[in-house]
């Protein structure tokens, strides 16, 4: 029997309590897979209003008399297979809006303190200051948890500290704030240096995490390579290159219970690899919901995505004349940049019945898209991992992806070699430009005219292992290695 390792995951969103993107899916679906490996994960999340209202019973395990301007409590709860500790800090989290934005779509002005508080609470546990829970490992996710390893470094006392891991889900979001916040954030003056939290003259939350964590991971092997280059490093590639020996890419998996077309209650008709026909019912239902002409024979290309530059939505809009020229329909479900939302709406007006959209965040429609679209478009300019192509594989929507980051690691292009071996699962194109997207759209349209081949590609995708099994083992190995007592002694020295 392997010894139990206790991990504290510090994370700003977690499905099904609060979700704005893939981070929540990952944080919510990985822990159960690690139980089998002898790893017990407890997740620390902010007690946003939407989280507190979903929790019935909690046990108070700690009280902070003043956490950045008000009292706060750590409350423990177990919900299904998830062990949670919620940071209940009403002055920071009890409000409408999203975890990061006001109802008007602006960043919360006190975001540095909201997420410093999350990090400080994680650090308190990592430093052994919370009697009820002393983890062996503290695992911080993205910039919101980036100060955790830094606080642990600067505040370490005699008790030593847990080992730390920083996972990058997206290097584009770094949490950069004015240098004047150093004192108010509770960081010592000597932290303001290149070996500390300083980043381009300000304070970098993600930089701090990358600087001080014992190990760094990101969410696909290809993205791990990309971010250690000057081109893909988004200003921080130098630090990542210096730490390349401690940087590892571990591919995301999916929750196969939530994303299973044979049991999914959110779709119009259930189906599986051997009974794929009901997809047509889902397609018509999707067409109706997004305002497309109802036609089960039309090729339907779908997108379900944050509407941002990263995701290449503008390229799809530019390619629309050619795409629609092939006879295909295009459906968007998404929200994000206001200008991009407007541009999508304009396209719907320009091409009624052939382009459809729902602007907003709608979990149910996200499922219907996977079950009803024939192909899922992902022309991302960069993509740390991407989960929607994994859902697409499982639901028989053929992914059409830019060959970057995790998209490159998870979709097998149906080139001649793959076709000969019968292993292709989608279409890849490179570089992510309008022209290459257009030629990929032509390839999709030509595949669509070969139903037997189309079906084979769909089946290959539906057979692909997109679960957490392999990656959970890699995380477990990493945790166990870091929890080794000899190493912990060295960290405390």
* Site for ligand GLC, rule CB under 6 A: 21-23, 26, 169-170, 219, 252, 383-387, 406
The smaller minimum CB distance to ligand GLC, of residues 67 and 227, is found at 227
- The reply on whether position 184 binds ligand ADP by CB under 6 A is no
By CB under 6 A, the residues from 373 to 392 that bind ligand ADP are: 386-388
Asked whether the beta carbons of 89 and 70 are under 8 A apart, the reply is yes
How far apart (Å, rounded) are the C-alpha atoms in residues 380 and 358? 20
What b/e readout covers 2-28, taking b as 16+ CB neighbours within 10 angstroms?
eeebbbbbbbbbbbebbbeebbbbbbb
The smaller minimum CB distance to ligand GLC, of residues 169 and 381, is found at 169
- The reply on whether position 21 binds ligand ADP by CB under 6 A is yes
Query: Which pair of structure tokens corresponds to residue 55?
Result: 């929790």
The mark string for 214-243 relative to ligand ADP (x by CB under 6 A, - otherwise) is ------------------------------
Residue number of the CB closest to ligand GLC reads 22
The listed partner (ligand ADP, ligand GLC, none) that binds 472, CB under 5 to 8 Å by sort, is none
Mutual angle of helices 313-325 and 338-350, in 10-degree steps: 10
The CB-of-471 to ligand GLC minimum distance in angstroms stands at: 11
- The reply on whether position 16 binds ligand ADP by CB under 6 A is no
> Segment near ligand ADP (CB under 6 A), from 20-28, 61-69, 188-196, 282-290?
20-28
Residue number of the CB closest to ligand ADP reads 22
The CB-of-324 to ligand GLC minimum distance in angstroms stands at: 28
The CB-of-310 to ligand ADP minimum distance in angstroms stands at: 7
The CB-of-127 to ligand ADP minimum distance in angstroms stands at: 30
The CB-of-19 to ligand GLC minimum distance in angstroms stands at: 11
How far apart (Å, rounded) are the C-alpha atoms in residues 194 and 202? 11
> Segment near ligand ADP (CB under 6 A), from 22-30, 81-89, 102-110, 411-419?
22-30
The smaller minimum CB distance to ligand ADP, of residues 246 and 362, is found at 362
Give the H/E segment covering residue 72. strand 72-79
**In the beta sheet, which residues pair with residue 248?**
217
Distance of CA 47 to CAs 28, 88, 94, 330, 357, Å? 16, 5, 7, 38, 32
How far apart (Å, rounded) are the C-alpha atoms in residues 289 and 78? 36
The listed partner (ligand ADP, ligand GLC, none) that binds 306, CB under 5 to 8 Å by sort, is ligand ADP
The smaller minimum CB distance to ligand ADP, of residues 249 and 386, is found at 386
By CB under 6 A, the residues from 287 to 306 that bind ligand ADP are: 304-306
**In the beta sheet, which residues pair with residue 203?**
177, 198
Q: What is the DSSP letter of 191?
A: G
The listed partner (ligand GLC, ligand ADP, none) that binds 361, CB under 5 to 8 Å by sort, is ligand ADP
Asked whether the beta carbons of 437 and 374 are under 8 A apart, the reply is no
The CB-of-170 to ligand GLC minimum distance in angstroms stands at: 4
Asked whether the beta carbons of 92 and 114 are under 8 A apart, the reply is yes
The CB-of-264 to ligand ADP minimum distance in angstroms stands at: 13
The smaller minimum CB distance to ligand GLC, of residues 26 and 299, is found at 26
The smaller minimum CB distance to ligand GLC, of residues 379 and 384, is found at 384
Name 145's Cβ contacts closer than 8 Å, sequence gap at least 6.
10, 11, 12, 115, 118, 119, 122, 166, 209
> Segment near ligand ADP (CB under 6 A), from 16-24, 78-86, 97-105, 411-419?
16-24
Mutual angle of helices 22-35 and 469-483, in 10-degree steps: 70
How far apart (Å, rounded) are the C-alpha atoms in residues 137 and 464? 32
The smaller minimum CB distance to ligand ADP, of residues 174 and 211, is found at 174
The listed partner (ligand ADP, ligand GLC, none) that binds 90, CB under 5 to 8 Å by sort, is none
How far apart (Å, rounded) are the C-alpha atoms in residues 383 and 404? 6
The smaller minimum CB distance to ligand ADP, of residues 5 and 387, is found at 387
Count of residues near ligand ADP by CB under 6 A: 17
**Cis peptide leading into residue 218 (ω within 30°):** no
The CB-of-100 to ligand GLC minimum distance in angstroms stands at: 12
Asked whether the beta carbons of 363 and 276 are under 8 A apart, the reply is no
Cα–Cα–Cα angle for 249, 400, 437, rounded to 5 degrees: 110
Asked whether the beta carbons of 74 and 121 are under 8 A apart, the reply is yes
Q: What is the 3-state secondary structure (H, E, C) of 235-272?
A: CCHHHHHHCHHHEEECCCCCCCCCCCCCCCCCCCCCCE
Identify the residue among 9, 10, 25, 41 touching ligand ADP (CB under 6 A): 25
The listed partner (ligand GLC, ligand ADP, none) that binds 219, CB under 5 to 8 Å by sort, is ligand GLC
Interface contacts to ligand ADP, rule CB under 6 A = 21-23, 25, 304-306, 333-335, 361-363, 366, 386-388
């Amino acid at each position: 029997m392997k010894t139990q390792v206790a991990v504290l995951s510090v994370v700003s969103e977690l499905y099904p309590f609060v979700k704005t993107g893939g981070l929540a899916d990952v944080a919510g679906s990985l822990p159960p897979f690690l139980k089998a490996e002898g790893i017990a994960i407890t997740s620390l999340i902010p007690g946003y209003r939407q989280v507190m209202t979903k929790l019935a019973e909690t046990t108070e395990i700690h009280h902070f008399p003043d956490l950045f301007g008000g009292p706060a409590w750590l409350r423990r709860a177990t919900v299904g297979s998830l062990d949670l500790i919620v940071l209940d800090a009403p002055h920071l989290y009890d409000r409408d809006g999203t975890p990061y934005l006001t109802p008007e779509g602006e960043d919360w002005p006190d975001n540095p303190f909201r997420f410093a508080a999350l990090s400080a609470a994680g650090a308190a546990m990592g430093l052994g200051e919370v009697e009820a829970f002393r983890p062996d490992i503290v695992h911080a996710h993205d910039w919101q948890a980036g100060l955790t390893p830094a606080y642990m470094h600067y505040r370490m006392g005699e008790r030593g500290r847990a080992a730390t891991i920083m996972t990058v889900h997206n290097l584009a979001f770094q949490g950069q704030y004015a240098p004047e916040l150093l004192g108010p954030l509770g960081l010592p003056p000597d932290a303001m240096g290149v070996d500390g939290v300083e980043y381009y003259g300000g304070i970098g939350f993600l930089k701090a995490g990358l600087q001080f964590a014992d190990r760094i991971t990101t969410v696909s092997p290809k993205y791990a390579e990309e971010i250690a280059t000057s081109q893909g490093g988004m200003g921080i590639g130098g630090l990542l290159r210096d730490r390349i020996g401690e940087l590892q890419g571990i591919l995301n998996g999916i929750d196969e219970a939530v994303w299973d077309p044979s049991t999914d209650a959110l779709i119009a008709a259930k189906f599986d690899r051997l009974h794929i026909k009901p997809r047509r019912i889902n397609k018509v239902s999707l067409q109706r919901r997004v305002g497309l002409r109802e036609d089960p024979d039309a090729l339907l290309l779908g997108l379900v995505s944050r509407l941002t530059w990263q995701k290449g939505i503008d390229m799809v809009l530019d390619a629309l004349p050619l795409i629609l020229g092939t006879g295909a329909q295009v459906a968007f479900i998404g929200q994000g940049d206001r200008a991009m939302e407007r541009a999508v709406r304009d396209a719907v007006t320009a091409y009624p019945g052939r382009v459809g959209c729902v602007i907003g965040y709608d979990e149910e429609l996200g499922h219907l898209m996977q079950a009803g679209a024939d192909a899922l478009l992902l022309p991302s300019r960069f993509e740390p991992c991407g989960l929607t192509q994994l859902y697409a594989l499982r639901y028989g929507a053929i992914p059409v992806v830019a060959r970057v980051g995790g998209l490159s690691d998870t979709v097998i292009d149906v080139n001649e070699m793959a076709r000969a071996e019968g292993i292709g699962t989608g279409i890849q194109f490179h570089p992510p430009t309008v022209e290459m997207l257009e030629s990929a759209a032509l390839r999709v349209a030509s595949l669509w005219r070969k139903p037997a081949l189309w079906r084979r590609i769909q089946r290959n995708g539906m057979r692909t292992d997109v679960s957490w099994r392999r990656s959970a083992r890699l995380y477990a190995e990493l945790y166990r290695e870091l929890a080794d007592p000899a190493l912990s002694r060295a960290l405390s020295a």
